[in-house]
């Protein structure tokens, strides 16, 4: 991307933040600072901050690429895979090894982070054999390193899916696969509050967030209940990826809503709306040396309307006044 394009993006972001300050009647110094840190991709998803490497990993599903961004140097690299990657998470104790969701497979890859150098090591698990057109969507490691991964039905047109075909799985370190939920439209969200023994999850087309009781010793979930409804707050779009801060509040990507939401799931309260200059906001994760920066992925899918830059960029939000938890690596025997 040339200098002129970066100048225009930077100017546009400044105008966006000025509008945010005016409409929220806030002091400029207290407003979050927003910056696009990568060039646009087609469908950015699955951000994972590696605290040891001080680097952000994410995927672009329809580009069939995995990505690494290093803030200290500004270096952004990618590597193409044979299929649609939907998440990338480091494997504990195996440097440069990752689990990746690839169509309906969980695979192990080796990648040093340099352009076009990833290689497939092995297949860890296969799911949804009864729905061969399904694919994985969101996934994360729970506090003990078990992989929680959800699937979704076939997308036969942009934004149109086979409904109620997805499931939520837990894949244990020994490779065993456990189906935790079924009849899911699009699996999304996934985060844990250990202090309150809670697991949060979203089926996007329900336009709600669920809370489950969570047993950290076994990885089991139970007693699902709805803790937040978009309709109660006049929100448009759907629930996409989310994370949780150390205060127990959720940070939610509002796909088709041009914003990130801060939600108190204990009382179902909408605490804050932060505008993002992209219609299709896809996911979020905390990062940075102090875990006080929020990285936000987005998409630039043309569903009848062209999504111009900075749509599809990964953004960084500073000055939120909160911190997140370190992301957990996947444990595999």
CATH number at residue 137: 2.120.10.30
pLDDT of residue 12: 53
Contact (CB, 8 A) for 47 and 84: no
Assigned domain for 102 exists? yes
pLDDT digits 0-9 by tens, 144-175: 999 999 999 998 876 788 999 999 999 999 99
Assess whether pLDDT exceeds 70 at residue 249.
yes
Question: What pLDDT does residue 155 have?
Answer: 86
**Among candidate residues 170, 143, 145, 165, the one with its CA nearest the CA of residue 154:** 165
Q: Is 329 annotated as a binding residue?
A: no
pTM reported for the whole predicted model: 0.91
* pLDDT tens sequence across 77-133: 999 999 999 999 999 999 999 999 999 999 999 999 999 999 999 999 999 999 999
Closest CA to 230 of 183, 272, 268, 186: 268
188 is in an annotated binding site: yes
Residue 56 lies in a domain: yes
Residue 321 inside a domain? The answer is no
155 assigned ligand-binding residue: yes
Q: Is 133 annotated as a binding residue?
A: no
Host domain of residue 134? 41-242
Percent pLDDT > 90 in the chain is 88
Catalytic residue among 128, 240, 245, 292: 240
82 belongs to the catalytic site: no
pLDDT score, position 16: 52
Higher-confidence residue of 196 and 8: namely 196
- What are 193-210's pLDDT values in tens digits? 999 999 999 999 999 999
Domain membership of residue 305 (yes or no) is no
How confident is the model at residue 157, as a pLDDT? 78
| pLDDT at residue number 13 | 56
State what percent of residues in the chain have pLDDT above 70: 91
Per-residue pLDDT, 22? 41
Q: Would you state the pLDDT for residue 26?
A: 42
pLDDT of residue 23: 46
Let me know if residue 18 belongs to a domain.
no
Looking at the 3D structure of the chain, how many domains does it have? Answer: 1
The answer on pLDDT for 303 being more than 80 is: yes
- Is residue 107, in this structure, part of any structural domain at all? yes
Quote the pLDDT of residue 83: 95
How high is the pLDDT of residue 160? 82
Domain assignment present for 144: yes
In a domain, 157, yes or no: yes
Instruction: Answer whether residue 226 shows pLDDT above 50.
Output: yes
Compute the mean pLDDT over every residue in the chain, rounded to the nearest whole number: 92
pLDDT in tens, 9-65: 554 555 455 454 444 434 344 689 999 999 999 999 999 999 999 999 999 999 999
- Maximum distance among all Cα pairs of the chain, rounded to whole angstroms: 55
């Amino acid at each position: 991307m040339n200098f002129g394009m970066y100048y225009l993006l930077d100017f546009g972001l400044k105008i966006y933040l000025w509008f945010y300050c005016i409409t929220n009647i806030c002091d400029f110094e207290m407003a979050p600072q927003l910056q696009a840190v990568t060039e646009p991709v087609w469908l950015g998803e699955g951000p994972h901050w590696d605290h040891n490497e001080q680097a952000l990993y994410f995927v672009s599903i329809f580009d069939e690429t995995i990505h690494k961004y290093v803030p200290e140097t500004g270096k952004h690299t990618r590597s193409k895979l044979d299929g649609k990657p939907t998440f990338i998470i480091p494997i504990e104790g195996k440097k440069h090894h990752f689990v990746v969701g690839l169509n309906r497979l969980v695979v192990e890859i080796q990648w040093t982070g340099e352009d076009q150098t990833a290689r497939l090591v092995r297949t860890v698990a296969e799911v949804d054999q009864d729905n061969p057109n399904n694919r994985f969507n969101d996934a994360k490691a729970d506090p003990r390193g078990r992989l929680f991964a959800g699937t979704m039905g076939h997308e036969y047109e942009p934004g149109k899916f086979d409904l109620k075909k997805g499931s939520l799985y837990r894949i244990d370190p020994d490779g065993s696969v456990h189906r935790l939920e079924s009849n899911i439209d699009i699996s999304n969200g996934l985060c844990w509050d250990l202090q309150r023994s809670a697991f949060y999850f979203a089926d996007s087309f329900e336009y709600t967030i669920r809370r489950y009781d969570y047993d950290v010793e076994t990885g089991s979930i139970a007693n699902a209940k709805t803790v937040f409804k978009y309709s109660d707050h006049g929100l448009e779009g759907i629930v996409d990826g989310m994370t949780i801060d150390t205060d127990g509040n959720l940070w939610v990507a509002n796909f088709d809503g041009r914003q990130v939401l801060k939600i108190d799931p204990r009382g179902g309260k909408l605490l804050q709306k932060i505008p993002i200059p992209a219609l299709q906001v896809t996911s979020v994760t905390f990062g940075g040396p102090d875990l006080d920066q929020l990285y936000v992925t987005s998409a630039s899918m043309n569903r009848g309307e062209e999504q111009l830059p900075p749509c599809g960029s990964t953004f960084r939000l500073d000055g939120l006044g909160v911190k997140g938890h370190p992301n957990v690596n996947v444990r595999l025997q």
